[in-house]
Amino acid sequence: MSKYIFDEKVCLMKMHTGAAKSIYHTKLADTDVHEIKASSAYASNLILVDKNYELGQKIFRKIASLQDTDVSSRTYGCWPYYMEEPISKMDAPDYNMASFNAKEMIVTIYKAGEFFDEETKEIMRKSIESACRCIIKRNVGVGYTNVCIADSFITVAAGEMLGCDEFVEYGRKKLKGFYFYTKAHGDVLEYNSPCYSPMAINDLGDFFIYIKDKEILEYAEKSNCLFWKMIAEHFDYNTLQLNGPQERAYSDYVDINFLKVIGMGTGIDFTKHPKFSVYFKDEEDIYFKDTRVKPICPKEYIPYFNGEKYFNSVLRRVTDGCNYPYFGYAKAATTYKCDRYAVGTVNRSEFWNQHRPFLGYIYTEERDLCVRVRCLHDGYDFSSGAFHCVQYEGNILASINFSKNRGDTHINLDILKDTILSAEDLRIVFEIEGNTKGINYYYKDNGICFNINNTELRIMPFICEFGDAQIKKELNISEDKIQFSLVLYSGERKNIDLAAPEKAITAFTAEFMPSEGYVEPTYHETEEFMDIHWNAGGKELELKAPKKTLTYIRNMYEDVESIDGKEIVDLASN
């Protein structure tokens, strides 16, 4: 079936869930369900776009009936994902559902409330109020970018609608807190996200439509500029892609909804672009389908989306952290673009499947080749893999080790117990995605070189140790993917103690358009680290890399990345 089908009998959207490894919060894997969030969006569009007030109201009444309305419950005001799984039965409630469903109700009442019957309107008002109570009780941090902005809009809009000053004041403080936090910490925490940035841009557009409070609108405008500037710095008009790195992403290429938001905000019709049919051949109807959202791009950034201007390099400081126990650490995000390729990295990150800490694109006339580095456990991205690197232009020096007290398929929802990993396969993978025909390659010393559309990519692992394991190299080629792997383990399922080896490190260099002579990195060991130096592009790249499994905090705090003796985080702060 298609992803969603409206079920008239149940009055909700029906879908089929993914495999257990790819879903969080819920136990319902690989089965048919009725999703509440998608149903809210469907009901809102039915009313605001199609003017089908009767069916839209019927759906909203159904949705309201599935909300947790027990004031004594810790999830009061929230919704589950699916009708088939009450919130009390979920693996872990997702409190974002209070925000996402309430938002659809609010904007629909604002724009079309005059067409509602009083009973439905009152049901929805009570549902919105309960959701706001849930939002305020939860009180997400200002670093939780898209949800923080959504919660600010929801509480302010609900407060103005319901005459509740408490809600308005909460939303005001939340939005101001987000803006000042983001400015102080360099840039948006969910940095350069092709999925969450458009959501935030849409929500900020809603402020200008629905909110009256002048002070709140002032900070909505300032926050809107932050997002559009970040996207403008990474958007590549020639490819219609968002250059890396990306700190929250669900796919290696942007989807039609990302491009649609950019098009609506800038007034640019991207369907006229020669690459549009390459990436979105069968999705033009989605691009032109009317929606209620109205994002607004500041005029000064429009030239970066129509091809008049572009950034060829970006170095940005972003602060990240965790809550339990809380600590914050600075990251440096680097992007470099030229006429043949673009590549971006984050100096310290993890291999959660929603992170793209190493992301490059090599241009072709058809679908551009995507280049990634991944750490895979039984074929799925391993969140406890830790990434460290320093980049100058197209030259990257990097290392990979593992973290204690981090997760498997998710960074914190499935924490490994005592660093023990049950595995049939564990590997580091250098991946090229796209049409592999015409890609030539040859082995060089311990590494491999690829020639892609007259662009050479040279990958040279120079340290690869995992205890006593004999590391194997594999090259797998299919029509749409090349994977060059360093296999740490492959065989019968067994328990692997990640903390046992004295050395558990892979270090490599990656060069886009390398010079003819390869300069070997030099390094020396200390008790827990490797101090690595590499001269590339006329610059001295230095990496203090953990050589064994350390705690997550130490992995993200004690590594050091420098260019010509200056720490890259400090360079990014200038």
> With bands split at pLDDT 50, 70 and 90, how would you rate the model's confidence at 399?
very high
Assess whether 416 and 483 both reside in one domain.
Answer: yes
Contact 459, 447 (CB under 8 A): yes
How much is the pLDDT for 322?
63
On whether both 451 and 523 belong to a single domain, the answer is yes
Residue holding tokens 């058809």?
366
Shared domain check, 352 and 288: no
Same domain flag for 306 and 318: no
526 is written with which tokens?
A: 């200390």
Does any domain span residue 146? Answer: no
For residue 144, pLDDT over 90 is answered with no
Q: Within this chain, do residues 344 and 420 fall inside the same structural domain, yes or no?
A: yes
| Position 6 in a domain | yes
* Eight-class DSSP state of 82: B
Angstrom CA distances, 494 to 233, 328, 425, 477, 491, stand at 45, 35, 9, 28, 8
Strands 550-551 and 395-404: parallel
The CA distance from 461 to 197, in Å, is 34
- Please, are residues 74 and 90 in contact by the beta-carbon 8 Å criterion? no
> In DSSP terms, which residues pair with 412 in a beta bridge?
none
Please name the helix (run of DSSP H) or strand (run of DSSP E) that holds residue 54, with its range, or none.
Answer: helix 53-65
Are 534 and 491 in a shared domain? yes
Q: Which helix (H) or strand (E) holds 147?
A: helix 145-162
Q: Are 305 and 204 in contact (CB under 8 A)?
A: no
Specify whether the CB–CB gap between 230 and 247 falls below 8 A. Answer: no
Host domain of residue 463? 313-573
Average pLDDT over residues 195-205: 94
Residues 203 and 340 both lie in one domain: no
Separation of first and last alpha carbons in the chain: 51
* Beta strands 504-512; 455-466: pairing state: antiparallel
Tokens of 379: 């074929």
321: pLDDT strictly greater than 80: no
The pTM score is 0.91
Share of the chain above pLDDT 90, in %: 84
In this prediction, residue 30 carries a pLDDT of: 84
Asked if 120 and 60 touch (Cβ cutoff 8 Å), the reply is yes
Domain termination residue (choose one: 103, 138, 173): 138
Residues 6+ apart with CB under 8 A from 433: 252, 369, 370, 371, 372, 480, 481
Q: What is the CA 188 to chain-centroid distance, rounded?
A: 12
Domain count of the fold of the chain: 3
pLDDT tens for each residue of 418-474: 999 999 999 999 999 999 998 999 998 889 999 998 899 999 999 999 999 999 999
What are 274-300's pLDDT values in tens digits? 999 999 988 988 888 877 789 999 999
**Statement to judge: residues 276 and 319 lie in one domain:** no
158 domain-assigned = no
Contact, 47 vs 56, CB < 8 A?
Answer: yes
Residue 408 located in a structural domain: yes
pLDDT digits (tens, 9 = 90+) for 157-172: 999 999 999 999 999 9
